[in-house]
Amino acid sequence: MTDLTGQTALVTGASRGIGAAIATALRDAGAEVIGIGTRISADPPEGIVPMDCDLSDRDAIDGLVAALEGRAIDILVNNAGIIRRAAAAEHPTEDWDAVMAVNLDAPFLLTRALGARMLERGHGKVINVASVLSFEGGVMVPGYAASKAAIANLTRSFANEWASKGVNVNAIAPGYVATDNTAALQADPEREAQLMARVPLGRWLKAEEIAAPVVFLASEAASAIHGAVLAVDGGWGAR
């Protein structure tokens, strides 16, 4: 039931990390995969159709939607995300704006546009990438935490309207994954030890461990799942 042969998936932030792993996993499940990245065409993951797009630019997003006019996107994975670290009292406004543009505005705009086409066809899957910080405030990342909390409720909001129309909208909430976004944490022995002490699994997650549940949510095996925010966190939320 997880065979995606004949379907087309679009994955944002597919150049590296979790996005590249998701794109690869969907490809391996049989889907044709379009990978979106700011400069992904320079070095695309193997077997992925690359399309460059700066998701912080609304005009660029409009251009991407227009370029996809003749293609039926069956699966949309809103994975692209950025993080800016600074104390809340000193957090730059421009950092807040940059994070919201990529982490929240882009998923809304793409889901609204590409999801409307799914509604016309009567089927489709949207999977958003939330975070364990969808459920808590985090430290030094007010914009990131706020954007990911909003993604969780955006997922539920779309699902409330689209579940009866053949379109599944769900999210995954990764825990601490060894990627570029967490490089600073991995390089800080004290902070890393504090984090790993809270993870029952006791280690950093791998990007491939996030990709597998995305394939499940993109498949017919998840046909009755709507508005879920699935934690893939090594047990972080349980503790």
Give per-residue pLDDT as tens, 3-40: 999 999 999 999 999 999 999 999 999 999 999 999 99
Whether 147 contacts 104, CB under 8 Å: yes
Interhelix angle 207-218/17-28, rounded to 10 degrees, is 50
List the domains of the chain with CATH numbers. 8-179+206-231 (3.40.50.720)
What local confidence, expressed as pLDDT, does residue 108 receive? Answer: 98
Beta pairing class for 8-12 and 167-174: unpaired
Given phi > 0 = left and psi -120 to 50 = alpha, else beta, which region is 17? left
Q: Which of 74, 77, 127, 144 is catalytic?
A: 144
The pLDDT score that the predictor gives to residue 180 is 84
Burial 40-67 (b: 16+ CB within 10 A, else e): beeebbeebbbbbbbbbeeeebeebbee
- Does the pLDDT at position 158 exceed 90? yes
pLDDT in the model for residue 184: 85
Strand segments, DSSP code E, in the chain are 8-12, 32-37, 49-52, 75-78, 124-129, 167-174, 229-232
Give pTM, 2 decimals. 0.96
Q: What percent of the chain has pLDDT over 90?
A: 94
**Whole-number pLDDT of residue 228:** 98
In this structure, the dihedral spanned by the alpha carbons of residues 216, 217, 220 and 222, taken in order and rounded to 10 degrees, is: 100
Q: Write down the pLDDT at residue 192.
A: 92
- Using an 8 Å Cβ cutoff, are 79 and 151 in contact? no
Inform me whether the pLDDT recorded for 181 exceeds 90: no
Q: Is 176 noted as a catalytic residue in this protein?
A: no
Q: pLDDT by residue (tens digit) across 103-151?
A: 999 999 999 999 999 999 999 999 999 999 999 999 999 999 999 999 9
pLDDT band at 212; cut points 50, 70, 90:
very high
What confidence tens digit (pLDDT) does each residue in 63-93 have?
Answer: 999 999 989 999 999 999 999 999 999 999 9
Q: Categorize the per-residue pLDDT at 221 as very low, low, confident or very high, splitting at 50, 70 and 90.
A: very high
Q: What is the pLDDT of residue 185?
A: 86
Q: In what side-by-side order are the strands of the sheet with 32-37?
A: 49-52, 32-37, 8-12, 75-78, 124-129, 167-174, 229-232
Query: Residue 29 and residue 185: Cα distance in Å, rounded?
Result: 32
The residue-averaged pLDDT of 201-229 equals 97
Q: What is the mean pLDDT of residues 187-208?
A: 93
Mean pLDDT of 169-195: 91
Model confidence at 231: pLDDT above 90: yes
